[in-house]
Structure 1
Amino acid sequence: MADGVVRPGTPVYSDRVPAEAEGDTGDPDVVRDLVPARRDGRRDGRNGKRRNRRWLTPSTSRAEKARALRGLGVLGGLSGLLVALLVLPTACAAGVGARDASDWFRAEPDGLTTSGVPQRSRILAADGRTIATFFYQNRVDVPMSKIAPVLRIAVLAIEDSRFYNHGAIDAQGTLRALASNLGSGQVTQGGSGITQQYVKNLLLTQADTAAERAAAKEISAARKIRELRYAVAIEKRYTKDEILRRYLNIAYYGDGAYGIEAASRHYFSKHAAELSLSEAALLAGIIRYPYAYDPTRHPGAARERRNVVLHRMAELGWIDHAAADATARLPIRLNVDDVKSGCVTSAAPFFCDYVQREIQTNPVFGPTPAAREKLLKRGGLTIRTTMDPVAQRAAQRAVDGHVPPRNSAHKAAAEAMVQPGTGEIKAMVVDRALGPDKERGKTWINFAADASHGSSIGMQAGSTFKVFTLAAALDQGMPFGTRLMAPREFTAVGYRNCKGQRVGDASKPLRNSADGEGGKRFSLVTGTHHSVNTFFLALEKEVGLCETVKMAEKLGMRQASGKPLEQYPSFTLGFNPVSPLRLAAAYAAFGARGRYCEPVAIREIRDASGRKLKVPPRKCRQAVDRGVADAVNYVLSGVLTKGTAQGMGLGRDAAGKTGTVDDFSAAWFAGYTPDLAAAVWVGDPRGGYRYPMDGLCMDGRCYGSVFGATIPAPIWQQSMLGALSGTGPGSFHRPPSEYFSKGTGEDKVKLPDVRGLKLREAVAKLREAGLKVQVRQPVESREYPKGTVAEMSPDPGSVEPGDTVELRVSKGPGPGGDGQPPVPPTFPPTFPPPADPGRQAPA
């Protein structure tokens, strides 16, 4: 056996083999070599009869005996029918009708197909890890080379030892089984060969309706004749090896395991190629009565049945009696791997649910919902997705850490992560388990996705929608320094939708939310940093409501219900209900310099044969000019360093926007880097306006009023740091110079008059005001003493923060002065302002 091939006449196991020897995984033709006709019915010398009596009579329950006696009657009747069919062509050779009947029986039936055997499908993460498994029947089809030869001969020994020596119908075996069963008083040998059993299983698995399933299982002569006709056709179509392989892959092995590979993984957590003699005999014995011999339910009966198989193998001379005896003394050792179907037990349940719904709802996977469901649960698909396990775990930890699944306030949180430039969904989490909503800490609703992929009707997005008004303004060429008055109250009148209709005229004024301010002028930059509602209402009117809506639509935004965005003046304040996934994809477009990609979760699907299936195409477009996107990135970067989310930076180029919905009914944060974008929602599934987050206390921690920066932004920061750990930082691009035509847009600061001060004092005072200092060549001055500042540029007044002030030191009077040579400055030529570790200048 050095080459792994068992030669004819050579036992598979000898008494030199250890009791727990592993199965030989050699030549797939070994089975045919092991069953020459001369070995059929062989006994072990004078002890053969005693061994038969000892091992072929397991103890049975009263119910099992009754079932066996009923089976004897059926088998007897069908055996008589079988004999009649076999002799029909000869006995009636002279009759034309008989000859026609014989031809009909031997002709291949119409519609005979061997396809449609259910196999389980797997959803895989981007790195190949299994996320979830779907099946009607837990089955993994494998080639003969991946099935241990010891398993093959174990099944042949107990089910059809003459398989390689007879055709589709084994009259000798059937009659012998009938005689044996009548003699023992119970069904110990079957009357159907492996080909017939394969046909019976095939017809049953192909049944789609209750009527078809009943017809496949009914005990009748008509069913038996149909199976026999199919068996004859199968024997003509396939080799014996192929029929055996198909049978091993279709048979039911109990406890939800269909096919030998799934059974091996289920009971022993190993592949079918790795089965030992004991394990192979156990599985082979289960086939006859899967429930009665299920080792997880009836270990005693399963062990006795295993031993029946072992000694049948020895009786046939296919293993040594010593090996059979030694193995029969071993206990049954299981290592059960209980594979569940669906997303409930998945480590990424809501991402899994999203993929499942994508397959069930997208016509690319089938013309009807039933066809798509069948493909997923019967097709043996390998579905490779975009999910990054590192990002998924980071997001789940962050969400669960800040909003625990069973928190005392009944709040919920959801987050979606999208890769800029590809639209690939890298993570999708909800702070709850997937399950019935009536159970605390569970929900069937995927709050991170749209209704089509998660049943959520969406949530109002609040001030995260202001980015679309900002982008529309920048798209119209407004520079950063564009300033508008932001009153404390704003009455929205004069807005028109994209149909030209005047909408939203209201007598009730709109006010700034608690995370904004008003009553003064703001620039595009400072109005965004402080998220001033009245500033954005004024800006929206300036650029046009329709233009703002169109910008959002270009970036993929729509209501979570699938309906178009509603158009009213408060559009910029985020009253439209949307999903975190849609918002993350829109923000990702800014990180990709204006390239928007529809969210995508599936990279590739292959069927059971390895053939690639069509998947939804990736849809990307340049939605926004690159310069506009770069300008948006410049403005939103400041939100993390000096705006409403100050201190939420990542230590790399990043940008984002907070969102607080009216009356603290919900809170959001959406942010991104050039490499990853994410949107976080926190709210109450019972209704945000009914259960607002004003004065929120949760699990012993009180937050007061919850803004976008209170809980969502820390979730975003933690999840992004985890998802991006170990990756190199990308960089934003500097916006086009025209956006700086009116300055940086930062708030003006007072430039103090430092003339007459010592240079060191002047530098300190200017740096304290947040200004840069550059010292030029000294100048002669009669007005200012030598060593003091004689000139400054610009002149005292208002400048933008970070501007550079040029200073010239007096070297005293010129000719006719004190006659002393000029003293060169003792300081470096440039004095930058104090370092701001949180500020990130665009590259």
Structure 2
Amino acid sequence: MSGSGRRRRRWLTGTTTRAEKARAVRGLASLSGLAGLLVALMLIPTACTAGVGARDAARWFQNAPEGLEGLGVPQRSTILAADGSKLATFFYQNRVNVDLDDIAPIMREAVVAIEDSRFYEHGALDTEGTLRALAANLSSGDVEQGGSGITQQYVKNLLLVQAESDAERTAATEVTLARKIRELRYAVAIEERLSKDEILRRYLNIAYFGDGAYGVEAASRHYFSKHASELDLGEAALLAGVIRYPHAYNPVEHPEMARERRDVVLDRMAELGRVDPAEAAKARERPVELKLEEVDNGCVSSDAPFFCDYVQREILTDKVFGETAKERERLLKRGGLTIHTTLDPKAQRAAQRAVERFVPPKNDAHLAAAEAMVEPGTGHIKAMVVGREMGDDTRRGKTWINFAADASHGSSIGMQAGSTFKAFTLAAALDEGMPFGTRLMAPRTYTPTGFRNCDGERVGDPNAVLRNNADGEGGRPFSLVTGTRNSVNTFFLALEKEVGLCDTVEMAEELGLKQADGKPLEQYPSFTLGSNPVSPLRLAAAYAAFGARGEYCEPVAITKVVDASGKKLDVPDAECRQAMDEGVADGVSHVLRGVLTDGTAAGMGIGRPAAGKTGTVDDFSAAWFAGYTPDLASAVWVGDPRGGYEHPMTSVCLDGRCYGAVYGATLPAPIWQQSMRGALQGTEATPFQRPPGHFFSKGSGLDRVDIPDVRGMDLGDALDRLRSAGFKVSFGDRMPSRYPRGTVAEMSPGPGSAEPGTTITVRVSDGPEEEDDPGGDDPGGAPTLPPGFTPPPDAGGTPEPNGPAGD
């Protein structure tokens, strides 16, 4: 078939012939005042295919389309740190709306000159342009000229950016007369409601300028690194020329074509008298000079990528930002939001440096670290760091998982928290009025029986044997102070039983603790040893409550959200509340301060009042440190993401530093120390408050007690007396003395005072030196013990290895 035959078949639609359309065009030419309506009537057959009856065509065309007022233009959203610095941008289309006054007048002139020179003279339809384009299209048998004015182009772009499905996008771009009618309907309605300046402003904000830049402001920033208000003649002409074919005239990809198009615009502006011909000629002589500014979409390139991801997930998951997931995503990527956050760049940098110093992202041991910082009394998240780059998990040193946050905000299922949970048992004990000097026996092993959960059910395995790990010791009594400082597992199991498992769990829940997957905390005797998997963020927020004297606040990342129109949106609230008595919190801080001075993290102080707790999970599968001041709280985790039990942290080397085993004080505490020092630099130190006096009713918990003088006492009675006073006993060689044979001849240390649990060495008397030995006993033999008496175990033994959980 010939080309003319193909064209003829292409133009035959129903009973409407090419000749009939030509006659309609001639009719339009004679009725220019009613051009818009007549064009619609002329195209009734096509309109009918869209479901519009010929009889109602004119009325349908003149009525304003539904939903016109609700049509908005997608704009990019920006996340800001607390100091106003930019953290990230999100967009469906990279666009920044601006007012007409913020667009250089020469830019407005350039666009009107090249796109619609009679824009301010005609209505919704430029009759001359439309007739000219229609005649050309009918004669060629194809759509070769658009003939659309700025208003119609604005409508076309508007319908396109509003399209969310493939069908809607196809309808918005298909080359059909039905689409043209729909655009004209919108154009008529818009011209009736908006001024020409407002239509031009909207058009300049919606038009695509190539290379990912939507709207004149984004284009100006992208190509020239300046605002649209600062554009000069040559730059304005270049951008105005791009609009017709953004891909072909992209000055980055096709600089020569872009320059040629720019010169066409300059000539047109001179021809219309919009610019002096001499100025246009001078602008033509200059080369195209770009100063590109890239805008990243999303969190990967952010200075705080995992905090950014947390904020993104907050908006995408919290119903305060929309009832459905689709609404929330639309708001974030199209709503032009300005999202003000809690992040402190100084704290973020300090935490990032500390984490990467001790656990480099690409370390050979495959370890990772995470830290979260929370402000006491507000719940504001000040820093959030994962010691790996954000990216493909299959690549070394990268991960998509936010180990610092819960599953709802970063896909992490959490990690067992170790002995950091002992702080909640301590808090429960103090809440029940136990003084610091309360002492409990900490056996070397512990069988967890007699525990009940909050439903009153018995929990615990009578066949289980729990031990102290290498950081603690057992076999003697400890006070709340010494048991905490030394992180003695069996002491805390005994304390948890004394307080009640349910009371301990409820204290943790009052402080916002839950499993990282969102489930309630599991209630087993090992609760106090940190068997529940949690996130650093939740743990930091709980410890922040101690620093805030018992006031717990839900961790929050967003302080304010403003949409594109300047309207403030609701944001999640910290819901601060008094979770425990102020005095109880002060008591916890008093005890935990000793961990940094004389306990498992001795030497990890930060030069101001601070408190904290180490945590080493059993088999060295993970290590933690959680600590705080009244101004800032932080929790640090270190472990192997591949699985801590399969890859325990023993015999590991990191950046030239090797460790036989990693405890809470080995890596997490130094990370905490360095990051807290950096974050609080320049901040005046706030002191802790002294605990209420009743906590000292049994002494400070470190008070020395009198050592009973048992010299001359029968050995069995002496042992009972020393043990009841809280001391341990060992035996030295027998010796002659003035005391009767078989009694205590000497004790070391002697009568005086010592801390409970001190070992007292006793020597049994052989009687006076000059006394004959009728029985011929060997004076160097073992002491004579009471029948059936078993000596207590020696205090100097080595702690049992591989305790269940704790420090």
TM bucket normalised to smaller: 0.7 to 0.9
Q: Is the 8 A contact 2:360 2:654 kept in 1?
A: no
Determine the structure 2 residue equivalent to 1:216.
172
Match of 1:727 among 674, 679, 683: 683
Deviation, 1:268, is: 1.1
1:671 has 2:630 as partner: no
Deviation, 1:174, is: 3.5
Q: Is the 8 A contact 1:354 1:454 kept in 2?
A: yes
Match of 1:474 among 401, 426, 430: 430
Between the aligned partners of 1:80 and 1:327, the Cα distance in structure 2 is: 46
1:166 has 2:122 as partner: yes
Match of 2:613 among 645, 657, 664: 657
1:798 has 2:749 as partner: no
Q: Is the 8 A contact 2:29 2:131 kept in 1?
A: no
User: Counterparts of 1:331-370 in structure 2 under 5 Å?
Assistant: 331-370=287-326
Determine the structure 1 residue equivalent to 2:508.
552
Between the aligned partners of 1:237 and 1:623, the Cα distance in structure 2 is: 56
Deviations 1:391-416 (A, max 9, x none): 11111111111111111111000000
1:102 and 1:395, CA in 2 relative to 1: closer, same or farther beyond 3 A? same
Between the aligned partners of 1:517 and 1:641, the Cα distance in structure 2 is: 18
Between the aligned partners of 1:323 and 1:246, the Cα distance in structure 2 is: 28
Between the aligned partners of 2:216 and 2:506, the Cα distance in structure 1 is: 57
Between the aligned partners of 2:529 and 2:29, the Cα distance in structure 1 is: 84
Q: Is the 8 A contact 2:143 2:175 kept in 1?
A: no
Match of 1:591 among 523, 533, 547: 547
Deviation, 1:650, is: 1.0
User: Counterparts of 1:86-485 in structure 2 under 5 Å?
Assistant: 101-113=57-69, 115-175=71-131, 191-485=147-441
Determine the structure 2 residue equivalent to 1:840.
none
Between the aligned partners of 2:25 and 2:665, the Cα distance in structure 1 is: 80
Corresponding letter in the other structure for 2:85: R
Q: Is the 8 A contact 1:133 1:341 kept in 2?
A: yes
Between the aligned partners of 2:72 and 2:532, the Cα distance in structure 1 is: 46
Match of 1:622 among 578, 585, 598: 578
Between the aligned partners of 1:270 and 1:188, the Cα distance in structure 2 is: 36
Give the unaligned 5+ runs of structure 2: 1-9, 11-17, 45-52, 710-749, 757-807
- Structure 1 residue matching 2:638: 3-state secondary structure: strand
Deviation, 1:110, is: 3.2
Deviation, 1:172, is: 1.5
Determine the structure 1 residue equivalent to 2:497.
541
- Structure 1 residue matching 2:79: 3-state secondary structure: strand
Deviation, 1:102, is: 3.8
1:110 and 1:553, CA in 2 relative to 1: closer, same or farther beyond 3 A? closer
Q: Which moved more, 1:204-213 or 1:112-121?
A: 112-121
1:85 and 1:720, CA in 2 relative to 1: closer, same or farther beyond 3 A? farther
1:633 and 1:85, CA in 2 relative to 1: closer, same or farther beyond 3 A? farther
1:84 and 1:490, CA in 2 relative to 1: closer, same or farther beyond 3 A? farther
Deviations 1:4-29 (A, max 9, x none): xxxxxxxxxxxxxxxxxxxxxxxxxx
Corresponding letter in the other structure for 2:377: G
1:227 and 1:294, CA in 2 relative to 1: closer, same or farther beyond 3 A? same
Determine the structure 2 residue equivalent to 1:640.
596
Q: Is the 8 A contact 1:391 1:427 kept in 2?
A: yes
1:188 and 1:157, CA in 2 relative to 1: closer, same or farther beyond 3 A? farther
Deviation, 1:488, is: 1.2
Between the aligned partners of 1:358 and 1:219, the Cα distance in structure 2 is: 41
Deviations 1:124-168 (A, max 9, x none): 111111111111011111110100001000001110011011111
Deviation, 1:751, is: 9.6
Between the aligned partners of 1:417 and 1:92, the Cα distance in structure 2 is: 68
1:330 and 1:562, CA in 2 relative to 1: closer, same or farther beyond 3 A? same
Q: Is the 8 A contact 1:529 1:638 kept in 2?
A: yes
1:101 and 1:543, CA in 2 relative to 1: closer, same or farther beyond 3 A? closer
1:743 has 2:699 as partner: yes
Deviation, 1:104, is: 3.6
Between the aligned partners of 1:752 and 1:573, the Cα distance in structure 2 is: 35
Deviation, 1:180, is: 9.8
1:183 and 1:106, CA in 2 relative to 1: closer, same or farther beyond 3 A? closer
Corresponding letter in the other structure for 1:383: I
Between the aligned partners of 2:555 and 2:519, the Cα distance in structure 1 is: 17
**How many residue pairs end up in the alignment?**
686
- Structure 2 residue matching 1:628: 3-state secondary structure: helix
Determine the structure 2 residue equivalent to 1:62.
none
Deviation, 1:747, is: 5.9
- Structure 2 residue matching 1:162: 3-state secondary structure: coil
Deviation, 1:259, is: 0.6
1:711 has 2:667 as partner: yes
Q: Is the 8 A contact 1:480 1:525 kept in 2?
A: yes
Between the aligned partners of 1:187 and 1:330, the Cα distance in structure 2 is: 36
Between the aligned partners of 2:145 and 2:286, the Cα distance in structure 1 is: 25
Determine the structure 2 residue equivalent to 1:49.
none
Determine the structure 2 residue equivalent to 1:600.
556
Q: Is the 8 A contact 2:124 2:188 kept in 1?
A: yes
Between the aligned partners of 1:80 and 1:250, the Cα distance in structure 2 is: 37
Between the aligned partners of 2:574 and 2:417, the Cα distance in structure 1 is: 26
Deviation, 1:343, is: 0.8
